[in-house]
């Protein structure tokens, strides 16, 4: 509910979430840092380092759908899966409120 109320995308990866976090009112950002929803993170935009925020929530999605199968007939069912969101395959270290 908090993310939706502030127009922050649920997907924590990518530029859209960071851009939305940059627009948060300071009181909301402070509250979210205190609650562990986001973390303080510096941003280097070629003009030097500036304070910013990074998402610290997880998104878990479950997909399901209804299917109807013919009665008294054999049906072949197969499943294929592809990741629905990006992430990192690297090791990230978080220490004292900062990514290392």
* pTM, rounded to two decimals: 0.60
Are 20 and 9 a contacting pair, CB within 8 Å?
yes
Location of structure tokens 């609650």? 35
- pLDDT number for residue 1: 84
> Which DSSP helix (H) or strand (E) runs through 99?
strand 98-99
**d(Cα 36, Cα 39) in Å, to the nearest integer?**
7
8 in any annotated domain: yes
- pLDDT number for residue 80: 82
> By mean pLDDT, which of 5-9, 25-29, 67-71, 77-81 is the weakest?
77-81
How many structural domains does the chain have?
1
41 in any annotated domain: yes
97 in any annotated domain: no
**Buried/exposed 50-74: b ≥16 CB within 10 Å, e otherwise:** eebbbbbeeeeeeeeeeeeeeeeee
Tell me the average pLDDT of the chain. 83
* Percent of the chain that is helix, strand, coil (3-state, to 5): 20, 20, 60
Render pLDDT for 51-90 as a digit per residue (tens, 0 to 9).
889 999 988 877 788 989 999 999 998 888 776 655 555 5
- Domain range for 54 is 1-59
């Amino acid at each position: 509910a908090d993310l939706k109320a502030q127009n922050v995308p649920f997907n924590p990866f990518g530029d859209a979430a960071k851009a939305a976090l940059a627009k948060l009112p300071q009181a909301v950002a402070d509250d979210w840092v205190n609650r562990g929803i986001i973390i303080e993170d510096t941003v280097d935009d070629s003009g030097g380092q500036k304070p910013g925020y990074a998402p610290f929530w997880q998104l878990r999605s479950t997909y399901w759908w209804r299917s109807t199968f013919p009665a008294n007939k054999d049906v072949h069912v197969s499943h294929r899966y592809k990741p629905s969101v990006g992430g990192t395959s690297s090791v990230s270290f978080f220490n004292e409120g900062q990514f290392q």
